[in-house]
């Protein structure tokens, strides 16, 4: 049993090191300096594959809290942590992309992306906080 436990721990450490050795994610300018940018390498996501029309940032700003949406445009800068600035032809919105959502992609400010996710508003003021990204496609 001890050998099995040691083997499992060893494999977990090796896998963790391999994941952290590959850095993916946004490759453009950062609004605030950050010494470490992490990404996550993994398999592609699956889900609904039917017709869903993307919306503009201007349309998104009219949506209620937790409304699902698809945006098409560019991630133009890194604001720090997991926050980025997204821009399309109608405007800009802050987006939040957790490290495990990158799925091995490297995206620059000139790359057009399609983001699936939901709008997050403050529960007290109903002001827009950010667009929470659940999927990214270049």
| CATH code assigned at 110 | 2.40.50.200
Q: Considering its fold, how many domains does the chain have in total?
A: 1
As a whole number, mean pLDDT of residues 64-91 equals 93
For the entire predicted model, the pTM comes to 0.63
* Of residues 132 and 52, more confidently modeled: 132
Count other C-beta atoms under 10 Å from residue 95's C-beta.
Answer: 22
| Structural domain containing residue 70 | 24-137
Residue 10 located in a structural domain:
no
Please say whether the beta carbons of 40 and 105 come within 8 A. no
In a domain, 14, yes or no: no
Domain assignment present for residue 5? The answer is no
Report yes or no on 124 lying in a domain: yes
When pLDDT is cut at 50, 70 and 90, the band that residue 47 belongs to is low
**Cβ atoms within 10 Å, residue 27:** 17
Specify if 90 maps to a domain.
Answer: yes
* Residue of 41 and 91 predicted with greater confidence: 91
Residue 32 within a domain: yes
Q: Which residues pair with 73 in a beta bridge?
A: 113
Contacts of 76 (CB under 8 A, 6+ apart): 28, 29, 84, 85, 86, 87, 92, 109
Mean pLDDT over each residue of the chain, to the nearest integer = 75
């Amino acid at each position: 049993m001890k050998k099995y436990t040691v083997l499992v721990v060893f494999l977990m450490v090796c896998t963790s090191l391999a994941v952290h050795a590959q850095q993916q994610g946004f490759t453009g300018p950062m609004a605030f300096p950050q010494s470490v940018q992490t990404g996550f390498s993994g398999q592609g996501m699956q889900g609904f594959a039917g017709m869903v029309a993307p919306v503009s940032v201007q349309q998104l700003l009219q949506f209620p809290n937790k409304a699902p949406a698809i945006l098409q445009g560019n991630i133009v800068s890194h604001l720090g942590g997991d926050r980025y600035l997204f821009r399309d032809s109608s405007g800009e919105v802050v987006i939040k992309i957790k490290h495990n959502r990158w799925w091995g992609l490297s995206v620059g400010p000139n790359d057009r992306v399609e983001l699936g996710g939901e709008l997050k508003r403050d529960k007290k003021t109903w002001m827009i906080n950010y667009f929470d990204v659940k999927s990214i496609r270049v």
